[in-house]
Amino acid sequence: MDLSKAKDTFLQEARELLQQFETLLLKAESASLDSEDLGALFRTVHTIKGSAGLFGFEAIVSFCHTVENVLAQLRSGTLSLTPELSQLLLLCRDGISRLVDDAEVSETPLVEVPEAERALQDALASVGVHEETPAKPRSIPVATMHADVDDAQRWHIRVKFGADVLRGGVDPIACLRYLSTLGTISGMQTLFPSLPALDELDPETCYIGFDFTLTSSASLAEIDGTFDFAREGSEIEIKSLTPVAVPAAAPAPDNQPEPEARHAEPVARKPGEGKFLKVEAAKLDRLINLVGELVIAGAAANVLSVNRNDNQMQEAISTISTLIEQIRDGALNMRMVPVGEIFQRFPRVVRDVAHELGKDIELRISGEETELDKSMVEKLTDPLMHIVRNALDHGIEPAAERKSSGKPTRGKIELMAYHESGSVVLEVSDDGGGIRRDKVIHKAVERGLIESGAGLTDAQVYHLLFEPGFSTAEAVTNLSGRGVGMDVVKKNIEALRGEIEIESREGQGTTMRLRLPLTLAIIDGFLVQVGPSQFVIPLDMVLECIELVTQESRYRRYIELRGEVLPYIDVRDIFDIHDAALPSYRYIVVVQYGNKRAGLVVDHLLGELQVVIKPLGKLFRGAQGISGSAILGSGEVALILDVPQLVQVACRQEKEEIEHHHERSHTEHACGK
Amino acid sequence: MSKTVMIVDDSTSMRQTVKICLSSAGYDVVEAEDGQDGIAKLDGRPVHLIIADVNMPVMGGIDMVKAIKQMPNYRFTPIMMLTTESDETRKREGQFAGAKAWVVKPFKPEQLLAAVAKLIMP
Amino acid sequence: MEIQIEERESERVLALRGEVNIYHAAQLRDALLAELNAQSEIGLDLEHVSEMDTSAIQIVVALLRTAADQGKLARVVKVGSAAANIIRFCNLQDELGLQLP
């Protein structure tokens, strides 16, 4: 029996349930829980305990049992949820979580609850009303088939089954067949002591009885246990025929004392408890890989059909292309998960950290339903956690300071997610003191990162925060001053083809904005040609294409587009493609990233297509202006232009130009005076 | 012909484990995630044993037992409840409703197999 | 379960087929009772029974006992492996007048 697959399911399920547990407890801090919530709270731990037992995770079972006991009392109303108890339960949640982690990695599962958790368990046990059952899981007698005949005993068994046994779905003969697996039955006599005549016989009433000898090494409790499900109205007699001291029979479970009655809690389906199919991530990845190949193959077929000028073929292929597109979207969509999966960890973090810092901080979350790629979710958690901790620690001022600057003493942190032109944006805002420009510059100069702050824009100053080893906190606090800095956050985000923006106003707060691509695997691209080379521009960043009228001067790098200045760069310049003949008409592809626009000058527009992104090899990873490569339907390789970077370059050039121009006119002006 | 067991539990890992455990012993297993789903999945198919959790969303185990006992084709199908020690009252309710067998959670796979074997052989 | 009344060479036989269990108990009892009331000799063919449970066994035993009480003859004429297994397990060969290997 291989339970390893089920174990993974258990681990995942346990973590989800612990998350629910936490969410419910945190909810209790602002609103009181109704009976439905308390029932759900109970069920989370109850389910973990039940499944943990199957895998022999005794420590989890034992720990959950104690927690469950308290939750049962909360549910029945004999205990109420005080802030202290809530805190203790949260710590217990962490304890269970640690045990679950241990269960994942350990070869041999913990049997005893480790000391740290033991302490929690004891603390919790003292909260609850005296437990009526020991925390130790009760073991049901299991048939242990000793091959050793020496310790086999002989038993004389007489059973008369109760009249209603059959109606309960229990078949006495099946019962005895099970018993025969525990040993050897001999001298079987089947008895019908009160079998009526056929015309008076009730076909669903049980009239059967047995008298036989059993030779078995099973314990009396195990033998007796055979009749557990058929006890009602039955007479069972088990006598030892072996002259050996026999242990007393285990008491039938029915004789156990009855705990007080509990009312049934309402069972309504919670929103979000939808129907889901859990699929192994690797399977999905394989599917997406195949879809990627399909996209390429489809594009190849398309190229062929166009070249052959076969209309019918083109029509057929266009239908296939539409379907491939849908399959691709569907497959990618399967990888999309709501960002709430990350966000839901934050209420607890904010609460705990605020506690630790002695600050009063409120967390607001919006846009939890915004979806992004699952693989990104995993890689975003740490950076986001760091940013939030940073905001808590350095962003929000201490209450006294807030009061003196006329703000409410309660600080506010906002987590937000939304989609914007082909990107997912995650924002962390605080209403704290903002980033103090002078302080950042001071520190950066001190650290030798810059010579002086003169001429730096705010954005440039803020980006100093991402330099390795930069920390603005005067005292290194326990929370965010531990070496891992914002530079790591930036690296992580860039590894996801994302970027970070900072907006800050002194005295009013800071917003950190993470902008990430929707997915990592396949994009809709716009194919362009420059000289002999083909390039792909991510389609969702393309706004429009216009004809480049004349390249008036090699120095003027902007045009006026509907009353706005649009800086542009020539792709030929970026990649040094100068030997190829210039076509008579060239084009500007207008792209947007974030709130910036720029133009990219290309030779030919080849149209839209889907491309599968292949990451660049090590050699090209540092290459400017390229974010990846793609295989085209023709089998050729095209480079994917790094639009965010190019937009930045274009805007910088434009600015320099303007400044240059400004300086020039300034000098002229001065001269004129 | 192997016997079919239906496991009704809202916990995926519980269903999966029960399935692995019973399949390895030669039973066919049908899964359902709550009482309502369980009843829907009976749907005329031969089911020789129903294993059901007591505590489930939508329709709990006891209500499901009551409903099944009204279904002509399933009223004699043995039902085994997954109960807990602290749920003695619920167990009695379940027995009263017609579920004559039970396994106390947490249990080990072999305990489940033993309990199932007392009712039906694979 | 299916019940067929077959007129064989020298006897009239009730042949049961398929699963014979608690779900069919009422039907089985009624069929056997009707036969018992109408005939003086009853043959029961269990060859094609795929499964039998306690309820089926006790009805068969009741048929044989009731027939004997009424001075009639009821007997099991044939058994298949499913029926033979359970009869052997319960050691009911004598009761049912069968000799099983």
Secondary structure of chain B as H, E, C letters: CCCEEEEECCCHHHHHHHHHHHHHCCCEEEEECCHHHHHHHHCCCCCCEEEEECCCCCCCHHHHHHHHCCCCCCCCCCEEEEEEHHHHHHHHHHHHHCCCEEEEECCCHHHHHHHHHHHCCC
Report the chain A residue with the minimal C-alpha distance to residue B105.
A50
What SS3 class is residue A211?
A: strand
- Tell me the shortest Cα–Cα distance from A162 to chain C, in angstroms: 13
A73 vs A262: CA distance, rounded Å = 10
Give me the pLDDT at residue A620, please.
66
* A69, A140, A232 ranked by CB distance to B104: nearest: A140
- Partners of C22 on chain B (C-beta within 8 Å) are 76
Contact (CB, 8 A) for A143 and A125:
no
Q: Which residue has the tokens 């956050």?
A: A489
CB contact under 8 A, C59 and A208: no
**Whether the Cβ atoms of residue C8 and residue C40 lie closer than 8 Å to each other:** no
Place A290 in a pLDDT band, splitting at 50, 70 and 90: confident
- Residue range A522-659 in CATH 2.30.30.40: yes
Cross-sheet strand order for the sheet of A209-216:
A183-191, A209-216, A153-160, A235-240
Q: Name every chain A residue with its beta carbon within 8 A of the beta carbon of C54.
A: 161, 166, 171-173, 206, 208
Q: Which amino acid is at C3?
A: I
Task: Report the chain B residue with the minimal C-alpha distance to residue A52.
Answer: B106
Q: Summarize the confidence of residues A193-217 as an average pLDDT.
A: 91
Preferred mutation among C23, C28, C48, C53 to probe B, highest tally of B CBs within 10 A: C23
B118 lies in some domain: no
* Least confident span in A19-28, A419-428, A534-543, B9-18: A419-428
Per residue in A626-644, pLDDT (tens digit) is: 887 877 766 677 888 888 8
Question: Of A98-107, A296-305, A606-615, C9-18, where does mean pLDDT reach its minimum?
Answer: A606-615
Q: What local confidence, expressed as pLDDT, does residue A583 receive?
A: 83
Sign of the CA dihedral with B15 first, then B16, B17, and B18 last: positive
A398-426 tens-digit pLDDT:
888 888 888 888 899 999 998 876 678 99
CATH number at A4-127 = 1.20.120.160
CB-based contact (8 Å) between A207 and chain C? yes
Q: Which of these, C101, A65, A436, A173, lies nearest to B84 by C-alpha position? A: A65
With a pLDDT cut of 70, the percent of chain A lying above it is: 82
What's the mean per-residue pLDDT of chain A? 79
CB contact under 8 A, C36 and A201: no
Give the angle subtended at the CA of A589 by the CAs of A586 and A590, to the nearest 5°: 140
The residue among A224, A119, A238 whose CA lies nearest residue A179 is: A224
Which of these, A380, A319, A381, lies nearest to A349 by C-alpha position? A381
Q: A278-298 in b/e burial notation, b at 16+ Cβ within 10 A?
A: eeeeeeeeebbeebbebbbeb
In order of A83, B85, B96, the CA distances from A126 in angstroms are 16, 20, 35
List Cβ neighbours of A436 (8 Å cut-off, separation of 6 or more). Answer: A472, A506
Closest chain A CA to residue C23: A204
Is A139's pLDDT higher than 80? no
The CATH number that domain A153-244 falls under is 3.30.70.1150
Minimal C-alpha gap between A263 and chain B (Å): 10
CA angle A154, A156, A158 (to 5 degrees): 155
- Inform me whether the pLDDT recorded for A482 exceeds 60: no
A423, A515 Cβ separation under 8 angstroms = yes
Interface test with C, best of A198, A200, A211 (most C CBs within 10 A): A198
For an interface test with B, which of A3, A51, A216 has the most B Cβ atoms less than 10 Å from its Cβ? A51
Residue where the block lists tokens 């030929």: A572
Total residues found in chain C within this entry: 101
CATH code, B92? 3.40.50.2300
Cβ pair A259:B98 closer than 8 A: no
Give the number of other Cβ atoms within 10 Å of residue C94's Cβ.
8
Q: How many angstroms separate the CA atoms of A297 and B99, rounded? A: 58
A570 φ, ψ (degrees, to nearest 5): -95, 125
ipTM: 0.93
Q: Report yes or no on B56 lying in a domain.
A: yes
Partners for C (CB, 8 Å, 3+ pairs)? A, B
In which band, very low, low, confident or very high, does the pLDDT at A234 lie, cut at 50, 70 and 90?
confident
Q: What is the pLDDT of residue A147?
A: 39
Distance CA A377, CA A496 (A): 10
Which residues have C-beta within 8 Å of that of residue A600, sequence separation ≥ 6? A528, A537, A568, A569, A571, A588, A589, A591, A641, A646
Distance from C-alpha of A323 to C-alpha of A200, rounded to nearest angstrom: 69
Q: How far is B53 from chain C (nearest CA, A)?
A: 25
Give a yes or no: residue B74 inside a domain: yes
Residue C23 contacts B, CB cutoff 8 Å: yes
Which chains neighbour A (Cβ–Cβ under 8 Å, 3 or more pairs)? B, C
Are B79 and A53 an interchain contact pair (Cβ–Cβ within 8 Å)? Answer: no
Cβ contact A103:A11 at 8 Å: yes
B121 assigned to some structural domain: no
Residue whose pair of structure tokens reads 């006599």 in the numeric block: A189
**CA A269, A272, A273, A274 torsion: positive or negative?**
positive
Q: Greatest CA separation found in chain A? A: 132
What would the pLDDT profile of A344-370 be if each residue is shown by its tens digit? 888 888 888 888 888 888 999 998 888
**Parent domain of B28:** 4-113
Q: Which residues contact A129 (CB under 8 A, 6 or more apart)?
A: A73, A78, A79
Pairing of strands A533-538, A637-641: parallel
The predicted-structure confidence for A645-673, as pLDDT tens digits, reads as follows 888 888 777 777 666 666 655 554 444 43
Output helix, strand, coil percentages for chain A, rounded to the nearest 5: 45, 20, 35
Contact with chain B for residue C50, Cβ under 8 A = yes
Residues B52/B38, Cβ–Cβ less than 8 Å = yes
**CA neighbor of B37 nearest in space, from A273, A141, A181:** A273
Q: Does C19 touch chain A (CB under 8 A)?
A: no
**Domain layout of chain A by residue ranges:** 4-127, 153-244, 282-337, 339-517, 522-659
* Size of chain B, expressed as the number of residues it contains: 122
Of residues A54, A165, A175, nearest to B106 (C-beta): A54
Residues of A in contact with C57 (CB under 8 A): 173, 190, 208
Q: Tokens 């076909």, residue?
A: A203
A167, closest residue in chain C (CA to CA): C22
What is the nearest CA distance from B85 to chain C, expressed in angstroms?
Answer: 32
Chain B stretch 46-105, residues whose beta carbon is closer than 8 A to a beta carbon of chain C: 73, 76
Give domain limits for chain C.
Answer: 2-90
Please tell me whether residue C51 adopts helix, strand or coil conformation.
Answer: strand
Of A55, A61, A181, the CB nearest to B117: A181
3-state SS class at A558: strand
Choose the closest CB to B101 out of A229, A256, A264: A229
Contact C86 A173 (CB under 8 A): yes
pLDDT tens digits along C36-90:
999 888 899 999 999 999 999 999 999 999 999 999 889 999 999 999 999 999 9
Is C69 within 8 Å of chain A by CB?
Answer: yes
Interface A-B, measured as beta-carbon pairs within 8 A, has a size of: 163
The whole-angstrom distance between B101's CA and the closest CA on chain C is 18
Q: Using one digit for the tens of pLDDT, what is the confidence trace for A376-404? A: 887 888 888 888 888 888 888 888 888 88
Task: Please tell me the distance in Å from A139's CA to the nearest CA on chain B.
Answer: 8
Measured between beta carbons, which residues in chain C are less than 8 angstroms from residue B100?
Answer: none
User: Which residues 224-283 of A have a C-beta within 8 angstroms of B?
Assistant: 225-226, 228-230, 232, 253, 256, 258-259, 261-262, 264, 267-270, 273, 278
Q: Which residues of B touch A66 (CB under 8 A)?
A: none
Share of chain A above pLDDT 90, in %: 10
Tell me, yes or no, if B1 comes closer than 8 A to chain C by beta carbon: yes
Q: Report CB contact under 8 Å: A166, C95.
A: no
pLDDT tops 60 at residue A575: yes
Dist. CA B64–CA B33, nearest whole Å: 12
Kindly give the pairing relationship between strand A586-593 and strand A604-614.
unpaired
Beta strands B4-8 and B49-53 are parallel
Tell me which chain A residue has its CA closest to the CA of residue B13.
A10
Superfamily of structural domain A339-517: Histidine kinase-like ATPase, C-terminal domain (3.30.565.10)
Residue by residue, DSSP assigns A226-257 as TTGGG-TT-EEEEEE-S-S--PPPPPPGGGSP
Answer positive or negative: Cα dihedral of A178, A182, A183, A189: negative
What A348-357 contacts at long range (C-beta under 8 Å, 24+ apart), as own/partner pairs, is A348/A22, A348/A26, A348/A90, A349/A385, A349/A388, A349/A389, A350/A388, A350/A392, A350/A413, A351/A26, A351/A29, A353/A389, A353/A392, A353/A393, A353/A479, A354/A392, A354/A411, A356/A478, A356/A479, A357/A392, A357/A393, A357/A477, A357/A479
Question: C85 at the B interface (CB within 8 A)?
Answer: no
Q: Domain C2-90: which CATH class?
A: alpha beta
Tokens 């199957």 belong to which residue?
A54
The answer to whether the Cβ–Cβ distance between B76 and C23 falls below 8 Å is: yes
Question: Tell me: the pLDDT tens digits for B20-29?
Answer: 889 888 899 9
Show residues of chain C in contact with A176, CB under 8 Å: 89
3-state class of A38 per DSSP? helix
